[in-house]
Amino acid sequence: MYPLSENLFAPLNSWYVAAWSDEITAAPMERWLLEQPVVFYRRSNGTATALDGRCPHRHFPLAKGRVVEDNLQCGYHGLVFAPDGRCLRVPSQPFAPAACNIVAHPVVDDGTWVWIWPGDPARADLTLLPHTAVEGFRTAVRAYRRVCGRYMLLHDNLLDLSHLEYLHAGGIGSAGAAEVLEHRTQGEDWVKSEREQVDAPCPPHFQALFGYSGPVTRRFGMTCHVPALHVGYDEFAGPAGPLGRFRVCHAITPGRKGETHYFVAASRDFALDDKALTQGMNSALGKTLDEDVAATEAIEQMITSLREEPRDVLVRGDATCVTGRRLFESMIRRELQGR
Amino acid sequence: MYPLSENLFAPLNSWYVAAWSDEITAAPMERWLLEQPVVFYRRSNGTATALDGRCPHRHFPLAKGRVVEDNLQCGYHGLVFAPDGRCLRVPSQPFAPAACNIVAHPVVDDGTWVWIWPGDPARADLTLLPHTAVEGFRTAVRAYRRVCGRYMLLHDNLLDLSHLEYLHAGGIGSAGAAEVLEHRTQGEDWVKSEREQVDAPCPPHFQALFGYSGPVTRRFGMTCHVPALHVGYDEFAGPAGPLGRFRVCHAITPGRKGETHYFVAASRDFALDDKALTQGMNSALGKTLDEDVAATEAIEQMITSLREEPRDVLVRGDATCVTGRRLFESMIRRELQGR
Amino acid sequence: MYPLSENLFAPLNSWYVAAWSDEITAAPMERWLLEQPVVFYRRSNGTATALDGRCPHRHFPLAKGRVVEDNLQCGYHGLVFAPDGRCLRVPSQPFAPAACNIVAHPVVDDGTWVWIWPGDPARADLTLLPHTAVEGFRTAVRAYRRVCGRYMLLHDNLLDLSHLEYLHAGGIGSAGAAEVLEHRTQGEDWVKSEREQVDAPCPPHFQALFGYSGPVTRRFGMTCHVPALHVGYDEFAGPAGPLGRFRVCHAITPGRKGETHYFVAASRDFALDDKALTQGMNSALGKTLDEDVAATEAIEQMITSLREEPRDVLVRGDATCVTGRRLFESMIRRELQGR
């Protein structure tokens, strides 16, 4: 599916953000991830649990059931499932058949985010779990958006930061951002894009945060960790020295068909206890995301309204985007070939 | 279509409930039944009439027309149809061509329900009309729900009464209902499931109705008259003797694609004139149906959201359900083979 | 697609009404026409401009961009397009590739309506532009409706004026309108239907306009200029002489898939400055269009709800309608054959 090749959806054998850590409680919660229903709950010892969200008997949503002694009981005919997915009980018969077992998804709760491995549980690899914490930085604000659009459009958006000058004009972008040279580096499952703007106007949102409106040198970049996370940095200095440094994690997870979960956490390394600054960051982040989401949804509507799926015209500034798309395609194809 | 085999929809040469008797008045009313539009009106002599709901000329809904001397005139270009479906007049020409005739569906108004034969009118057979009245019982309450889901899910629901303990916990179900032995009998076009719970807790809704909260012996069962009706009984006795007996008719009729009409009438054989009791039954019936409809619609959404149509895992308690589904499939296949 | 043959949509190499003239301003506006997105804006010299509404780079709606010195800049990554569709600038590179050029649609602004040629710009032919102004008549009222239905249903509606007696009973129609003889004339790309009702009751809406309720002679007709416009006349006379003459232009333009734009302008040749009369016309036009739109949308819903696409039964009064449909089909087929 555009912008990937036809019939390619997304890698499944990877870690994706499923939820904020504090969303998972003792009460079952359904969330669709990678076009599958998943039910989450927290066991009495605090462990986050993720099971297939559909009872295999009659397809009733297990999130409408209840947790009984750390097991999940279906609310329709009473089948009981253990946190490891085994069916423990079928009320109408004396034993529980193995055919009733369901998938338990590997999950990792890092305190901020709950990560899920939606593919083959046997291949879940903790060494692949992204690290999002950095010394000296503290998460200041976070935001979630449910996006009515295919997930790759959000990746496309972050893979081409030249959009800051136009889509975020009057916000986090300023004139000239699209023209500066882009430095690109890449690895097997990541691609990084970096830019430096010297003696540039300070973008409006940052003027408000710094209380400074003079010229700045801005260094900013974004690393796309395929397939689920972008980590960006944004650093400002004025003639008198550094003004501040930010770090933003963008977690992108396909939800239901045509729907994407977008989780964002932004941190800074200065004035960590300044609440007014945090409020300002929160407001700036919200407005920026609203612009990104509106653009993504407008493109989704455009694509789906056209009689035929459109093809891109590629320009020089698309090199990082094209690299990123290729990494996604390679990862999906390797997975489909069983590797 | 799940839970039936692919491409099997529903029997057409059978009686289905189309409406409550008092819904049919002199004014035309459209209702989609078995994925066909039907227009109903009552003639001046009181006879309920059902015609194809679509004008054959330009597909205008005939229910937007008007009744003129017991005939129905289309509201678009004025074609007139007799209660037997013959086109009597085309305003722009002197005669009415036979090509403009429409189907008149056989209907039976039994005073409570209006039954329709949506298939071949020539095969309509009054001896097949279900009887829903029973001596000593009087209909106390009735309810209608428009269900956003395929009709077979409602049959599945009634074909497995073990759901009472879980879906209707705190209502008409109580602990242990799912475990008791099920007695099953069947015929060519029906299957009956019966259970007896001895010394069981009285379910909350019935405690309220009887003003009694001690242990009960409960005998309950359901007969599925394929393809359109379930008739259930529910009988309670305490240590001091009978508490009360109920009888519930569930009429299930496919509507538009993916939509089902669900008509329910409940009767009792005791305290027939007790209005408070009737109000209590009404409230209990409404809550129970809301739970059934919510479950049905949740399953429908689950099935249609999945990338592939799911397959059931069958357990022992599904024997009646499987029998019922087979009766539906046989009836549909016989009809497709012209028998 | 019904009522045309399968796979036939609409002629593209023709003039269609895109907007009211005063809708086009300096600010970009998106409108879907013939299932394509188009962005309109007015240049500083007042010229109406219509470009493909989709940026070829990432499919962002160009209407969300801004006009800079008569050029349109995409709001996502800043590509700039001239009014003739040439891409003038891609910010991330020093030159603009021809692959980024977009289509500029020929437009004509006649002061009332903006006409667009949605097909091949090289074939745009000003001599084919319909003339809608008539000496002695002045446009009194206009109305727009967004119709949720395929455009041909609106043509079908106007191609059979026998509907006045039934659909517009109590409004612009009166008894007998459907029975009078129809006179039909036709050309290569038009068909005209005319009727005369002698000594007929004055229809309610016109009673109100004329302040007269006696018998009338009414002459009325409609010319369908395939594929985008109907021009109708409606003339009334009483025993004491002429009561008034009306002229109504109906512009029908396919929008998004399954949606149609319907623009109507009505004029008269009497009491041109009578504001109360104009208000009366406005009210009568609005009610009439609401009836037409309700019928169209009811038929659209009927057709799309049926399991199979229905076929018409044709009657004598359909001769004009069948002629009109054939003209549409011929025009589309000629276009598909490259002629």
Convert the pLDDT of each residue in B142-176 to its tens digit: 999 999 999 999 999 999 999 999 999 999 998 89
- Verify whether the Cβ–Cβ distance A91 to B162 is below 8 Å: yes
C302 vs B92: CB contact, 8 Å cut-off? no
- Evaluate if residue A280 carries a pLDDT over 80: yes
Question: Please, which pLDDT band fits residue B178 given cuts at 50, 70 and 90?
Answer: confident
For the cut 80, the answer to whether the pLDDT of residue B339 exceeds it is no
**Does the beta-carbon distance from C163 to B35 stay under 8 Å?**
no
Question: Residue A282 has what pLDDT?
Answer: 97
pLDDT band, very low/low/confident/very high, at C108 (cuts 50, 70, 90)? very high
Under the banding of pLDDT at 50, 70 and 90, the label for residue C174 is confident
Tens-digit pLDDT profile for residues C241-272 = 999 999 999 999 999 999 999 999 999 999 99
Chain C CB contacts of A313 under 8 Å are: 56-57, 97, 99-100
Q: How confident is the model at residue B3 (pLDDT cuts 50, 70, 90)?
A: very high
Nearest Cα to C265, choosing from C75, C112, C50?
C112
Strands B87-89 and B80-81: antiparallel
pLDDT tops 80 at residue C339: no
Report residue C98's pLDDT band, with 50, 70 and 90 as the boundaries: very high
Q: Which residues of C touch A305 (CB under 8 A)?
A: 32, 35, 37, 256-257
Helices of type H across chain B: 151-159, 163-167, 204-210, 275-305, 319-336
Amino acid at A91: P
In the numeric block, which tokens belong to residue A9? 């959806």
pLDDT at position C132: 85
* Contact call for C54 and A310, based on CB within 8 A: yes
Confidence of residue A339 (pLDDT cuts 50, 70, 90): confident
Q: Write out residues 310-329 of C within 8 Å (CB-CB) of B.
A: 310, 312-313, 315-318
Q: Is C59 on the interface with A (CB under 8 A)?
A: yes
Name the average pLDDT for chain B: 96
Nearest to C29 by CA among C55, C66, C58, C60: C66
**Residue A295 clears pLDDT 90, i.e. is over it:** yes
pLDDT value for B138: 87
CA C48/CA A137 separation, integer angstroms: 53
Q: Which of B68, B92, B102, B256 to mutate: most C Cβ within 10 Å? A: B92
Instruction: State residue C46's pLDDT score.
Output: 97
- The residue whose two tokens read 């109907």 is C230
User: What's the angle, vertex CA A70, arms to CA A67 and CA A71, rounded to 5?
Assistant: 65
Give residue-wise pLDDT tens across range A9-49.
999 999 999 999 999 999 999 999 999 999 999 999 999 99
Mean pLDDT of A134-162: 95
CB contact, 8 Å: B156 with chain A? yes
CB contact under 8 A, A166 and C76: yes
User: What is the rounded CA–CA span in Å between residue C305 and residue B152?
Assistant: 20
The arithmetic mean of pLDDT across residues B16-43, rounded, is 98
Using the predicted structure, report yes or no on whether residue B112 has a pLDDT greater than 80. yes
A179 vs A334: CA distance, rounded Å:
36
Taking CB atoms and an 8 Å cutoff, what residues of chain B touch C312? Answer: 56-59
Neighbours of chain A (3+ CB pairs under 8 A): B, C
Condensed to tens digits (0 to 9), the pLDDT of residues A219-250 reads 999 999 999 999 999 999 999 999 999 999 99
**Residue A92: pLDDT over 90:** no
Average pLDDT of the residues in C80-100: 96
CA distance A173 to A195: 13
Q: Tell me the percentage of chain B whose pLDDT exceeds 90.
A: 93
Which are the contacts of A23, defined by CB distance < 8 A and separation ≥ 6?
A29, A40, A114
What's the pLDDT score for residue C218? Answer: 97
Nearest to A313 among C60, C99, C257 (CB): C99
Confidence of residue A136 (pLDDT cuts 50, 70, 90): confident
Mean pLDDT of C321-325: 98
Mind giving me the DSSP string for C277-332? Answer: HHHHHHHHHHHHHHHHHHHHHHHHHHHHHSSS---PPP-GGGHHHHHHHHHHHHHH
- Other Cβ atoms less than 10 A from the Cβ of B275: the count is 9
User: C163: which DSSP letter?
Assistant: G
pTM of the model: 0.95
- What is the reported pLDDT for B131? 85
How many CA atoms within 13 Å lie on the side-chain side of B162? 26
Q: What is the dihedral of CA A187, A192, A198, A203, to 10 degrees?
A: -170
Tell me, what amino acid is at B230? H
Contacts of residue C119, defined as CB under 8 A and 6 or more positions apart, other chains included, come to C11, C12, C13, C14, C335
Interchain contact C92–A (C-beta under 8 A): yes
Distance CA B106, CA B83 (A): 11
| SS3 track for A223-259 | EEECCCEEEEEEEEEECCEEEEEEEEEEEEEECCCCC
Confidence of residue A133 (pLDDT cuts 50, 70, 90): confident
- Which of C179, C303, C313 shows the shortest C-beta gap to B56? C313
**C90 with A166: Cβ contact below 8 A:** no
* Residue C188 CA, distance from chain mean position: 20
